Structure 1
Amino acid sequence: MYPNQPNPTNTNPNPFLVNQEDEIDLKVLLFNYLQYWPIILICMFLGILTAFLFNRFTTPIYKVESTVLIVDDKPTLGSDLFESAGLGLQNKSNIDNEIGILKSFTLAESTISEMELNVSYFREDVFKLRQIYGNTPIYVSLEWNRPQLVGGLFRLEVIDESNYELTVEEDEFSVFNPADPFYKDKLESFSLPKSVYPFGQEISGEFYAFTINQISALPGDIFYFRLVDTPSLALRMKEDLQANPLNKQASILTLSLETPLRRLGENYINTLMEQYLQRELYEKNQASENTIRFIEEQLSGISDSLEFSESQLQEFRSKNRIFNLSEEGSLIFERLSELEKEQSQFELNLKYLETLQTYLDNNQLEDLVAPAIVGVNDPLLTSLVESLSELQSDRVQVSATFNDQTPQMRDINSRIQSTSNALKENVRSAIENSQNTLADVNNRIRMIEQDINTLPATERSLLNYTRQFTINENIYIYLLEKKAEAEITMASNMPKNKILDFAKAGQDPVAPKRSLNLLIGMILGLILPIGFITVKDFMNTKIEDPKELEKSIKVPLISMIGRSNTEDNLPVLNNPRSTVTESFRSLRADMSYLSPNKEKFTVLFTSTISGEGKTFVSINMASVFSLMGKKTILIGLDLRKPKIAEDFNLPNDKGMSTALSSDISWRDVVKSTGHRDLDVILSGPIPPNPAELLLQDKFGKIIEEIKEAYDVVIFDCPPVGLVSETKELFNFADISFYVFRQGYSMKGNTEVLNNLVEKGGVSKIYGILNDVHIDKGYGYGYGYGYGYGYGGNSYGYHEEVQLPWWKRALRRKA
């Protein structure tokens, strides 16, 4: 068995062979990509260049950050009793609720209104418009209480210090209607009635009205501006703002915003935090304002009574000339004054409880007054009122983010209802207790009034007038004290939450990520061409890999012939030290194993279609046998498309077709190639019936005579896939070779060879892969007579005539 023929009984005991095959696969894959290295380098350069241009012309985005400390309220007096009632209230300063407030639409809307961000200004930059903020050379003022155009882009060019030209740059306007702020009507087309306007003059129409004022613009300056309604801008800023806890244990929130305008981002977050604290302070002051309003309502009634009782007392004293009570009357008055002071206090408390009950029945939870401020010192009642106020505040906060159907709102509403029911029951019980206590005080007063009847009539009258005045005075002074306390409390109120760090933008942009983009550009520049090459190879229907060819054919792949780097089709004769010549020598050596113990033999070369290099292989195999001193003849049997004459510069005036179609002897058509021991019989003039000529008995007799006269006979046959007579010619050959060409032969051509073996009964036929490209990495390590490590002039065994690199890149052997 010849060395390269597969042995089915070989179990391959050497474990390194598998690893060797894996290495060969990786080498082939690597060489397959490396042959396209200029394209890959160009794509990588373009990827990096694209990333560089993207970094250069993309607007940088900066991150603005600030921190807010969320302080939890301390437990109120009686909260332990309240919790024991099973209501399970949660603390108001819940981190999630505070995040909801900071990211609420209402807070964003108030912030935008405070900053007046409804007009965006732009200037021209390279390939794009650049937004400007602060110290703008022009100022656009407008009122949002009427319909306004929003969304489109205006272009303003300053003509001189007093006039400007205004045009529409982007006609994508919608009409904002303050009566329905969340739904805007698309405007199909819009144009201004004229283009030149003076600064300071209002520009108005059916759906717009605004005034452009000159600040510091110079003639020739060009600006762009866009009008944006507050609801749309608030929705966008609400989504852009990020609020996250610093960590799970801390009650510190980090507010961040990514924006191309660092100063705008800083001002927005700072204003947002100020609005957040003002909102919290407003909620705190609500209780004090409700208390002051309640006390003022009571004062408005008691002041008239005090003034009337004072005038009556003065008039009585003047008329009766009595100013002081007797000792007995003074004692009765002191006792009576104490009781009446208690009576007025209980009456005020009862009036507060009745007012509180009215608020609860009418669901006026925002008007609740703290009991302690008006003198009600019931711990449970105080805790219930404060908790209900806090829950109401929570509902207002959460409603800015969630609707009534969300679990958060349903939970708060449920707790408000539970707390309200508990408070109603407590108020009803407190009213009953106050009424009973007040009735007891009234009974004690009536008992003392009986002692008054023992006094003289004048003193009794003086005591009554003094009593009435003292009662009103005490109530009036008490209410004034409570009002002052409430005003002091409101003045001393401070937001419990604090700003730790005001907004500050980072010095380096967070986007675009320059290094990452360059890396991505380089990777894409590498992946895209490799992916394209991989897909191209996957979709390739041509034979490329010798191992794949070896697996596809039913006969041994006996040799690989490399691509010649010269344009000469006779490298064996003209360049005997080339690697291609060595591959033919190797194939010649293998034939001693394929046809052992034969001094003379006939070799046939064919292929599936024309262009696969069978003539090239036939000529050079004939040449390599002649060089070793064997008398060799090359016979051109491709009568339809002769080529051998061109390679030897011989006229194709006579040949095998001449000998078969006339009485001329085959010896008369033999031509000398000019090389020792190498003759050739050309195909001759193209006959009208080439198949019939080759199938006649005369052809067999000629071949027998030629075999007697020559040591080696080489048949250059027509392609077996195109003509039928080649199948008959296999009978005249001792060894047959089926030539494939790398990068040219179709993968389906292997079935033609397999059919010849399985169905045609052709034996002793072997495969040859021609035109193997060294730049694709195929050929090394296969042991097929090509690629023994002698190439490339590295060791001096062979020499190659190198073509210029551009010719080698474009050339494909015919």
Structure 2
Amino acid sequence: MNITRKPSEPRAPGESKGHIIFRLLPYWPLFLGLFVIAIIGSLIYLNITPPIYESNARILINERKVDDALKSSDPMASTLNTKQTVDNEREVIISNPIVYKVVEDLGLYSSVFKKERLADVVMYKTAPLKIIVQNPNSLIPVKNTTFTIEKGNVVIDGKKYPFDRWLKMPYADLMFRLNPAYKAADGDKFSFTLTSPKKVVASIVQNIKVTEANKLSTILNVSLLDQDKYRAEDILNDILHVYSSSAIEEHNLLAANTQEFINKRLMSVEKELLDIESKLQNYRSKTGAIDLGTQGKLYLENVSVNDQKVGEINMQLSVLNQVESYVKSKDLTGGIVPSTAGINDPGLSQMVKDIYELQLTAESLRKTTGENNPMVVAYTDQINKIKPQILQNLRNQRNSLSASRNNLSGTTNNYSSVLQSMPETERNLVDINRQQQIKSGIYTFLLQKKEETALSYITNGSDSKVISKAESSEFPVSPKRKMVLLASIFGAGILGIAFVSVKEGMRRNVMFQSEIKSLTSLSVIAEISTNSSKNYIVIGSQQRTLIAEQFRSLRTTLHFLGIGKKNKRVMVTSAIAGEGKSFVASNLAVTLAMTGKKVALLDFDLNHPTLHHKFNLKQTIGISEYLEGKATEADIIQPSLINENLSVLLTGKLPADPAELIMNGRAEQLLNYLEVDFDFIIVDVPPVGPVSDAYILAPICDATLFVVRHAYTPKVFVERIDENIRLNNLPNPAIVFNAVAQRGFGKNNYGYGYGSGMVYGGTYDQKLIE
């Protein structure tokens, strides 16, 4: 009968699905220490790490596409309107010039701190003073400069500095301004830092995010992370204010330049118109010319129309000349950008506007970053690329206008030849009237554009609208106390599990029943706890100890091996010496004898016998003498002196060749003899590793108990059990897990328990003598 466990069979006693959890329980002090350290560490981290708040604001962007303005019949539309999209404005909001202006407005290059617990807490609204630097760009950064306020003075390193005065300090020319709302006792310690504005700008840009509220809207959500919630709100509100103001200023500047250009043209045209009107008045007074003939009027009207067109062409040529002069000038910002009024070329208007905006941006960057800044060079390259395109466009339009003017002039000459027959006086009068009409039309057009430009300048407002001012979160978004605590505890658990796994993985000996199951297909039918007493026999009629109950359980489990009335022989062996096979065999025999059954315990370990020590008996004649034919069965059977139903057969004098002696056939005769008078026969044989005696006796036995000792038996020997059984045909083998240490929270806790197979805690101290 073979009881090798298969996956489909029910689990034998000693197996459990929760062995991993029970494996970790013996290390509860380690985990407790790690958890305590993790909690303390996380609390220290939370105390030294300043909280971070999130502030959010929303702004509505009205998209405006320049293509619509270019298609308009009004040539001034492209000059006063610029392209504006959500994607562009998102980048403009966090651009360096805007953020730099905010840093200067709020004085963010200086910060005041106060020591609270383990961390320096930034003071913004509650700071005792404000530090104003005269030239922030030239300051030398300093950190953690301690100061106190005593008797109306700022004390730094023992030196007193007054308030509201410019002071020459080693790091900058600055002024201390007292916060009247702050009340503190003299001697309170504070500290301040001065940081380069460029670094502050970079930090704000890094911590600010501009995202679309959703894909279908033009609302932008602007958020900022900062240590102080009020400072974050002020920064966001000022960013949106500066952004809106800069858009208005840019639009107004462009409108002002256009208006100034129109005013200059109006003055020139008005003077010319007055001269013509005066000339007409003088001519009429001198010649008395009052009316023209019907035929003369017809020709003159045609000539007038042509001359008017020529005048418009001349005005356009004049505008082109001014644009060309402006583009060819070395410094485009030195003068006023010429208007392209009267030029029906939206492309030219857009290019003039683009080159003007690029020059303004380049000049702004040149003032803050320097001449050789890569962005300034890039803008200069773009200007140089646009100039040739404008000049080429001007040449093309000039050629076209000149051709048109020549054509009109030819037509006018034809009309003039017809008018030669008319009186010279009438002809001169018509010429003067024609000039008056041309100048009057130009003057009217310029007046209209002047009013439109003025209206645009006066009514101009920002294309964006702040729909939600900055508002900070009530609680810090970082660090999150619960997350930090949970993460630290989780990390401590992972570290503890890793430590236990590495430690247990490095062991070469069997520690857990689960390891036995993974190394062999044999079932573990019993677990015997470690014996902490000095007694070799741990079971008796009055003993109710855990180890005694375990041997009783082993006695009950023998029926799994087919041991009963017909099959009485149980062989007890192990892989190597010291695993407690004799201890198991002795106590199992006593346990069986306590049921009233007659039990024979044979010490067949003819190499290293130990049963006589366990029963406190003296070696006389024994199995060796019987095998040699020098004694009979009755001569070697002796009482155990522990239980009247238990008889012991000792080894006697150790032979020189035990294996050959066992093979002479008398061992089987001895077992057959004992089988008649005894109900159970327990045979203690040598370990299978050093000698082969167990394999010789195996064919004459009915079952095999293979003893594996906790923390002692090497895994490699357990791994070879299946192969040894297959080669040597051990009868009905099963494993007894011996010397399992009592571990856990109390002395009465059995580490593996019935059916658990795990170790809880404790130390190994079984005293066995093999």
Q: Name the residue aligned to 1:202.
A: 167
Structure 1 residues 585-604: aligned runs within 5 Å: 585-589=555-559, 593=562, 597=566, 601=569, 603-604=570-571
In structure 2, the residue matched to 1:252 is 219
**Aligned-partner Cα distance in 1 for 2:471–2:67:** 37
Shift in CA distance, 524/113, structure 1 to aligned 2, threshold 3 Å: same
Structure 1 window deviating more from structure 2 (322-331 vs 533-542): it is 322-331
For 2:755, give the aligned amino acid. Y
For 1:407 and 1:198, how far apart are their aligned partners in 2? Answer: 47
- For the 8 Å contact 2:258–2:453, the answer to whether it is kept is yes
Letter in 2 for 1:583: S
Rounded to whole Å, the distance in 2 between the matches of 1:429 and 1:220 is 83
Residue 449 of structure 1 and its aligned partner are, at CA, apart by 12
CA contact (8 A) 1:635 1:713 kept: no
1:252 CA displacement: 1.5
CA distance, structure 1, for counterparts of residue 238 and residue 402 of structure 2: 46
Partner of 1:282: 249
Does 2:480 match 1:494? Answer: no
Q: 1:247 to 1:658 in 2, by over 3 A?
A: closer
Alpha-carbon contact 1:772-1:779 (below 8 Å) kept: no
Equivalent AA in structure 2 for residue 227 of structure 1: L
Change (3 A) 1:62 1:658: same
Q: Verify the 8 A CA contact 2:603 2:650 in the aligned structure 1.
A: yes
Q: Secondary structure at the match of 2:108?
A: coil
**In the alignment, what sits opposite 2:589?**
622
The answer to whether the 8 A contact 1:287-1:370 is kept is: no
Aligned residue for 2:190, secondary structure, equals: strand
The one-letter amino acid paired with 2:526 is: M
Q: Matched residues in 1 for 2:738 and 2:457: separation?
A: 100
Q: Aligned residue for 1:677? A: 645
Asked if 1:233 corresponds to 2:224, the answer is no
Q: Secondary structure at the match of 1:140?
A: strand
Gaps in structure 1 of 5+ consecutive residues: 167-194, 317-321, 456-463, 788-804
Give the corresponding residue for 1:780: 755
Distance 1:341 1:82 in 2: 21
Q: Deviations over 1:159-194 (max 9, x none)?
A: 55335133xxxxxxxxxxxxxxxxxxxxxxxxxxxx
Deviation at 1:770? Answer: 2.6
Counterpart code for 1:243: V
Q: 1:746 aligns with which of 703, 706, 714?
A: 714
8 Å CA contact 2:572, 2:585 repeated in 1: yes
**Residues of 1 paired with 2:597 and 2:437: CA distance?**
152
Q: Distance in 1 between matches of 2:222 and 2:395?
A: 41
Matches within 5 A, 1:425-504: 425-426=396-397, 429-430=400-401, 451=425, 486-487=453-454, 489-504=456-471
**Identical residues among aligned pairs (%):** 19
Superposed displacement of residue 35, structure 1: 6.1
Task: Give the direction of change, closer, same or farther, for the CA distance of 1:100–1:125 in structure 2 (3 Å limit).
Answer: same
- Note closer, same or farther for the CA distance 1:219–1:382 as it changes in structure 2 (3 Å cut): same
Q: Does the Cα contact within 8 Å between 2:695 and 2:728 map onto a contact in 1?
A: no
Cα distance between partner residues in 2 of 1:279 and 1:454: 56
TM-score, normalised with respect to structure 2: 0.71
Distance 1:37 1:381, change over 3 A: same
- SS at 1:277 equivalent: helix
| Aligned counterparts, 1:117-196, within 5 A | 117-134=108-125, 136-144=127-135, 147-150=138-141, 152-158=143-149, 160-162=151-153, 164-166=155-157, 196=159
Measure the CA separation in 2 of the matches of 1:156 and 1:357: 62
Letter paired with 1:381? D
Q: In the aligned structure 2, how far is the partner of 1:5 from the partner of 1:473? A: 119
Q: 1:107–1:762: structure 2 CA closer, same or farther, 3 Å change rule? A: same
CA distance in 1, matches of 2:542, 2:465: 92
Q: Distance in 2 between matches of 1:25 and 1:271?
A: 67
Seen in structure 2, the aligned counterparts of structure 1 residues 636 and 158 have a Cα distance that, compared at 3 Å, is: farther
Comparing 281-290 with 765-774, greater Cα deviation is found at 765-774
**Structure 1 stretch 773-782 or stretch 528-537: which is displaced more?**
773-782
Q: Work out whether residues 561 and 770 of structure 1, in 8 Å CA contact, stay in contact via their aligned partners in 2.
A: yes
Residue among 529, 553, 565 paired with 1:563: 529
* 1:353–1:431 CA contact under 8 A, matched in 2: no
Question: Deviation digits for residues 49-88 of structure 1, max 9, x if unmatched?
Answer: 76566556643322211122211337788734799xxx9x
How far residue 525 of structure 1 moved from its aligned partner, in angstroms, is 5.3
The question of whether the paired residues in 2 share the 8 Å contact of 1:557 and 1:769 is answered with: no
1:483-503 C-alpha deviation (Å, 9 max, x unpaired): 676455423322222222222
Q: Which residue of the partner structure matches residue 746 of structure 2?
A: none
TM-score by length of 1: 0.68
Q: What amino acid does structure 2 have at the position aligned with 1:561?
A: E
Task: For 2:510 and 2:492, locate their aligned partners in 1 and report how far apart those are by CA, in whole Å.
Answer: 28
Report if the CA contact (8 A) 1:385-1:423 is conserved: no
Q: Which amino acid aligns with 2:200?
A: L
* Paired residue type of 2:85: N
Task: Go from structure 1 to structure 2 and tell me whether the alpha carbon gap of 1:478 and 1:535 turns closer, same or farther (over 3 Å shift).
Answer: same
Letter in 2 for 1:110: K
Shift in Å at residue 289 of structure 1?
2.7
Specify the alignment match of 1:579 in structure 2.
549
1:590 shift after superposition: 5.1
The question of whether the paired residues in 2 share the 8 Å contact of 1:66 and 1:254 is answered with yes
Cα displacement (A) at 1:355: 0.6
Give the C-alpha shift of residue 745 in structure 1.
Answer: 2.2
Mapped partners of 2:10, 2:694: distance in 1: 41
CA contact (8 A) 2:622 2:636 kept: no
Alpha-carbon separation, structure 1, partners of 2:327 and 2:405: 18
1:389 is matched with which residue?
353
1:189 corresponding residue in structure 2: none
Q: What stretches of structure 2 of length at least 5 have no aligned partner?
A: 292-299, 742-748
